[in-house]
Amino acid sequence: MLKFAETITEQPCKMESQPNRYRKNSSRQQHDTPSVDSLGRLAPRDIDVEAAVLGALMIEKDAYILVCDILKPESFYEPAHQRIYEAIQTLGASQKPIDLLTVTDQLKLNGTLEEVGGPAFVVRLTSNVASAANVEFHARIVAQKYLARELISFSSTIGSKAFDESLDVDDLLQEAEGKLFEISQRNVKKDVTQIDPVITSAIEQIQAAANRTSGLSGLESGFHELDKLTSGWQNSDLIIIAARPAMGKTAFVLSMAKNMAVNYNIPIAIFSLEMSNLQLVNRLISNVCELPGDKIKSGQLTPLEWEQLMVRIKYLNGAPMYIDDTASLSVFELRTKARRLVREHKVKMIIIDYLQLMNASGMKFGSREQEVRTISRSLKQLAKELNIPIIALSQLSRALESRGENKRPQLSDLRESGAIEQDADIVCFIHRPEYYYHSDTDPSGKDIRGLAEFIVAKHRSGAVKDVNMRFRANFARFENWIEEGADSFVEQRVSKLNPVDGQAVTPNVVLSGGTADYTTSSDEPTPF
Residue 242 is part of a domain; what is its CATH number? 3.40.50.300
Residue 150 included in any domain:
yes
List the CATH number of the domain containing 23: 1.10.860.10
Q: Residues near 517 by Cβ (< 8 Å), separated by ≥ 6? A: none
For residue 213, give the 3-state DSSP assignment: coil
Over its length of 528 residues, how does the chain's per-residue pLDDT go in tens digits? 444 444 444 443 334 444 443 343 333 444 444 465 556 677 888 888 888 888 888 888 778 888 887 888 888 988 889 899 988 888 887 778 888 888 899 998 988 888 888 888 888 888 877 777 888 888 888 888 888 888 888 888 888 888 888 887 877 777 777 677 667 666 655 556 667 777 787 787 777 767 777 667 788 888 888 888 888 888 889 999 888 887 888 888 889 888 888 888 889 999 988 888 888 888 888 888 888 878 877 778 888 888 888 888 888 888 888 988 887 787 877 888 888 888 888 899 999 987 878 877 656 666 777 778 888 888 888 898 888 999 999 888 777 777 766 778 878 777 666 778 788 889 898 888 887 777 777 777 777 787 888 888 888 888 888 888 888 878 888 888 874 343 333 333 333 334 434 343 443 433 333 444 444 444 443 333
Q: Is there a contact between 312 and 505 (Cβ–Cβ < 8 Å)?
A: yes
Closest CA relative to residue 54, chosen from 127, 144, 146, 3: 127
Residue 154 included in any domain:
yes
Where is 245: in which H helix or E strand? none
pLDDT of 490 reads 36
Do 371 and 434 lie in one domain? The reply is yes
Do 426 and 280 lie in one domain? The reply is yes
Residue 180 included in any domain:
no
Closest CA relative to residue 525, chosen from 315, 316, 309: 309
Residue 496 included in any domain:
no
| Dihedral angle computed from the Cα positions of residues 510, 515, 516 and 521, in that order, rounded to the nearest 10 degrees | -100
Q: Residues near 466 by Cβ (< 8 Å), separated by ≥ 6? A: 453, 454, 455, 456
Point out the catalytic residue in the list 74, 114, 274, 369.
274
pLDDT of 192 reads 61
For residue 385, count CB atoms less than 10 angstroms from its CB and return exposed for 0-12, middle for 13-18, buried for 19 or more. middle
Tell which of 127, 148, 167 closes a domain.
167
pLDDT of 390 reads 92
What is the DSSP-derived secondary structure letter of residue 494? T
Do 139 and 272 lie in one domain? The reply is no
Written as one string, the DSSP assignment of 305-371 is HHHHHHHHGGGTTT-SEEEE--TT-BHHHHHHHHHHHHHHH---EEEEE-GGG-B-TTS--SSHHHH
Taking each helix axis from N to C terminus, what angle separates 79-93 and 100-110, rounded to the nearest 10 degrees?
Answer: 100
**How far apart are the C-alpha atoms of 315 and 321, rounded to whole Å?**
12
Residue 187 included in any domain:
no
343: left (phi over 0), alpha (psi -120 to 50) or beta: alpha
Tell which of 452, 469, 486 closes a domain.
469
What is the DSSP-derived secondary structure letter of residue 246? T
Do 224 and 342 lie in one domain? The reply is yes
Q: Residues near 296 by Cβ (< 8 Å), separated by ≥ 6? A: 282, 285, 286
Give residue-wise pLDDT tens across range 62-74. 788 888 878 888 8
What is the DSSP-derived secondary structure letter of residue 263? I
Q: Tell me which residue range forms the domain holding 103.
A: 2-167
Closest CA relative to residue 335, chosen from 279, 271, 413: 271
> β-strands 238-243, 426-431: how paired?
parallel
Q: Which amino acid is at 275?
A: M
Based on its alpha-carbon atoms, the radius of gyration of the chain, rounded to whole angstroms, reads 31
Beta strands (DSSP E) in 229-300 are: 238-243, 268-272
**CA–CA distances in Å: residue 326 to residues 172, 255, 274:** 17, 21, 9
Do 336 and 227 lie in one domain? The reply is yes
- The yes-or-no answer on residue 484 being catalytic is no
Residue 505 included in any domain:
no
Tell which of 124, 150, 167 closes a domain.
167
Do 39 and 114 lie in one domain? The reply is yes
pLDDT of 417 reads 60
Closest CA relative to residue 125, chosen from 104, 94, 96: 104
**How far apart are the C-alpha atoms of 125 and 310, rounded to whole Å?**
79
Do 151 and 227 lie in one domain? The reply is no
- Residue 54: phi and psi, rounded to 5, are -65, -40
**How far apart are the C-alpha atoms of 143 and 120, rounded to whole Å?**
26
Residue 193 included in any domain:
no
Do 25 and 162 lie in one domain? The reply is yes
Do 276 and 344 lie in one domain? The reply is yes
**How far apart are the C-alpha atoms of 433 and 439, rounded to whole Å?**
9
Instruction: Taking the CA atoms of 343, 348, 353 and 354 in sequence, report the sign of the dihedral they define.
Output: positive
Q: Is there a contact between 320 and 345 (Cβ–Cβ < 8 Å)?
A: yes
**120-154 exposure pattern, b = at least 16 Cβ within 10 A, e = fewer:** bbbbbbbeebeebeebeebbbebbebbeebbebbb
Do 266 and 383 lie in one domain? The reply is yes
Q: Is there a contact between 210 and 394 (Cβ–Cβ < 8 Å)?
A: no
pLDDT of 515 reads 45
**How far apart are the C-alpha atoms of 318 and 314, rounded to whole Å?**
8
* Domain count of the fold of the chain: 2
pLDDT of 361 reads 65
Q: Is there a contact between 514 and 526 (Cβ–Cβ < 8 Å)?
A: yes
Give residue-wise pLDDT tens across range 244-254. 887 888 888 88
Residue 313 included in any domain:
yes
Do 136 and 239 lie in one domain? The reply is no
pTM of the predicted model over 0.95: no
Do 129 and 235 lie in one domain? The reply is no
Distance between alpha carbon 272 and the CA centroid of its chain, in Å?
Answer: 16
Distance between alpha carbon 402 and the CA centroid of its chain, in Å?
Answer: 33
Q: Is there a contact between 105 and 4 (Cβ–Cβ < 8 Å)?
A: no
